[in-house]
Structure 1
């Protein structure tokens, strides 16, 4: 979505892409919930694929494109802020679960 907003695509096209991504994500979630994978290896493989895809999109598409449109210092500050938010989120989960 960040790349589309930077590219200043028409609003109707932006909404169509959002709707398509929402439907595909919702469909994937329904399929994932209905198919109970009994194999731990299959679950690990699908999780690894999801993390790899998300990492590629995050680093290549979002961060890579943002560096060309914004100052590098601002991009690195936002990346650092994101890492801090993830750290504090994980830390707060450990407080609530008593680990």
Structure 2
């Protein structure tokens, strides 16, 4: 065998190894992405469930205490109105 043939074989071996390494890296990357997607789904699901519970608890509170809920809503509305009024007044 000549040096050219040996060099050609070595290049082919190196190319094959590079393909294997690239394939393994791609597999690991896709696995990590899949894990992250699954974790994100879990977190989103938990957050969604907590939000539903809070909404349900708020609805229950409003049904059980309509006067308090009305006064709280009125107070929050007036507070937001005052803040907006102050911000608009500053612009002029």
Fold match (TM-score > 0.5):
no
Instruction: Provide TM-score, normalisation by structure 2.
Output: 0.37
Higher RCO (CA 8 Å, separation ≥ 6 residues): 1
Structure holding more helix per residue: 2
